[in-house]
Copies of this chain bind each other. A is one copy, B any other.
């Protein structure tokens, strides 16, 4: 995709500004302000972690009141496990945004990502907010994707356009996060916006469905961080309001929104700390969707499978071990087949007759491939995306704070 087009997408009803607030000792933008036009619908999903960060608590409180007009995102400090001072810091930031933009503090959603357990450098944030409000512009998506990065090695941005009743609609999203491999500070954040008009209750369903099909399918060790959040904005600048799933425009818009979410989620996995492989784990023939996902995550989260991926070693014994753990009691292992891309490695629960080690090694030596598991139990299928587990991962996470 043409990066210049990605950097300057045209999305009516949303303006952005990225500024340096010196939250850490670095020379870069680390504060993002997003202005949302009046009358927009805004929906979000948040981390389930009970140690959720102060900004998450404040954002949940504010979004419940509706009529959101601004987002404020800082990188470098998660404002998590910071007690009542953390809460008042987050609220002070919202008040500063409100003052600079002529709105109410409750119309601002705050987000933070970075180290847990340290207080925000509040004054530096407060000082940076008015210049950010001055700098708001429609073409700020590319810089915004960079401003919210922490250990990410590259910005993550995705875009789709579609026509609804002859009118051009854009869907643009940005995300940050080093994927499953640093759930406590990577703190996945994603912001997706469209200029379409969508009724609030429908948008609430759409963000849930889109996240379920994207960020909830990356291998995150079952962990959700203290700060994870995904926001979906429908600015309402274009077209008539889409009210329900039966609206004729719904499907096309939902498809575009889902594609943007999936692209961002895959980018998060590909940029996983130390990751050298991007692997789809596909499970077919499950009794139901929940069971298929359970098997896929058990395989995709196993450190033993992940180190085998890293080594380009088609160690299928680790795959059957993980499958057997996911379904401990009633799996008929004699019905299980496993394919590495098109190479069948396991047939009826044991080594496939025609399988040769070189064939598996060829698949595993690629940077992207699919592990497909047939359970032989029913008709449900699911898939997730994962990456490998490298020496670099340990190095990065053992040395992060030093």
Contact = CB atoms under 8 A, between A and B. Distances in A.
Interface of A: 48-52, 78, 80-83, 86, 115-117, 181-185, 221-226, 302-304, 307-308, 310-311, 313, 315-318, 320-325, 327-331, 333-334, 346, 348-351, 389-391, 393-395, 397-402
Contact of A320 (B115, B117, B327): B117
Contact of A302 (B81, B221, B304): B221
A81 B303 contact: no
Given A308-B397, A397-B307, A226 B83 contact: no
Nearest to A117: B317
A257 B101 CA distance: 71
A307 B50 contact: no
A294 to B, nearest CB: 12
A365 to B, nearest CB: 13
B398 A310 contact: yes
A223 B321 contact: yes
B324 A117 contact: no
Given A50-B333, A81-B320, 5 more contacts: A51-B324, A116-B318, A226-B324, A304-B397, A313-B400
A228 to B, nearest CB: 11
B310 A394 contact: yes
A350 B391 contact: no
Contacts of A48: 328-329
B50 A329 contact: yes
Contact of A83 (B328, B349, B397): B349
Contacts of A313: 398, 400-402
Given A50-B331, A51-B333, A350-B81, A183 B321 contact: yes
Contacts of A226: 317, 320-321, 324
- Per CB-CB distance, the 9 closest pairs between chain A and chain B, nearest first, are A116-B317, A51-B324, A311-B398, A184-B321, A307-B397, A49-B324, A50-B331, A83-B350, A48-B328
B50 A324 contact: yes
Contacts of A334: 83
Chain A interface, DSSP helix/strand/loop, else mixed: loop
Contact of A348 (B83, B115, B308): B83
Given A321-B226, A391-B394, A184 B304 contact: yes
A317 B395 CA distance: 18
A116 B389 CA distance: 21
Nearest to A331: B50
Nearest to A318: B184
A51 B398 contact: no
A177 to B, nearest CB: 14
Contacts of A117: 316-317, 320, 350-351
A321 B49 contact: yes
A325 B315 CA distance: 30
A325 to B, nearest CB: 5
Given A320-B51, A329-B50, A394 B402 contact: no
A300 to B, nearest CB: 13
A172 to B, nearest CB: 30
Interface centre among A183, A315, A325, A328 (most CB of B within 10 A): A325
Contacts of A311: 397-399, 402
A311 to B, nearest CB: 4
A48 B48 CA distance: 29
Given A317-B115, A321-B223, A327-B50, A81 B308 contact: no
A316 B401 CA distance: 11
Given A226-B320, A320-B226, A394 B394 contact: yes
